[in-house]
Amino acid sequence: MPRIFYDDFKNLTQEKMSKSISDMTFAYNETKVPAKHYKAMLGKQIEEVMETATSVKLVEVIYNTLTSLKKESPRLFFQALLLLDLGIKPNSLTAEQYQALTVTSDMYEANKLPKVLDRDILSWFNDTMKHGLA
């Protein structure tokens, strides 16, 4: 089997690895990322790295659950999100709140709104995706 770059890369010191990653990043799109950034990332304790992976996994589990619930009953899913957002527990709904919940759900369905989340929240996400933290 022919020798590949990774064979040598995995044996580099943390400092040389950082420099090599910086060079690879620049070669991709002439993006300059200092080697010290990669050195700091490579120097993180495994717990810090695992915390992110664990968080992503938990989000995936919740996402899959919510997707299943939405598919099962879009109307009840919307109502549950609305109550959650309003801080109202379903078992303590008053008659007025139930009426408002029903009318709001009807309006949501009649207007065929594409998103459940507030437009500002979606804009924050999209702006961060497009522009980063700047």
Measured distance between the N- and C-terminal CA atoms of the chain, rounded to whole angstroms: 45
Q: How far apart are CA 60 and CA 66, in angstroms?
A: 10
User: No. of H helices and E strands in the chain?
Assistant: 7, 0
Angstrom distances, CA of residue 61 to CA of 15, 50, 64, 68, 110:
37, 16, 5, 11, 31
Please give the DSSP secondary-structure letter assigned to residue 73. -
Predicted structure pTM score: 0.58
Residue type, 122: L
Q: Which helix (H) or strand (E) holds 71?
A: helix 46-72
Task: List the chain domain ranges.
Answer: 1-43, 44-131
Neighbours of 22 (CB within 10 A): 19
* pLDDT tens for the chain, residues 1 to 134: 788 888 888 888 888 888 888 888 888 888 888 888 888 888 877 777 678 788 889 999 999 999 999 999 999 999 999 999 889 999 999 999 999 999 999 988 888 877 777 777 767 767 777 877 76
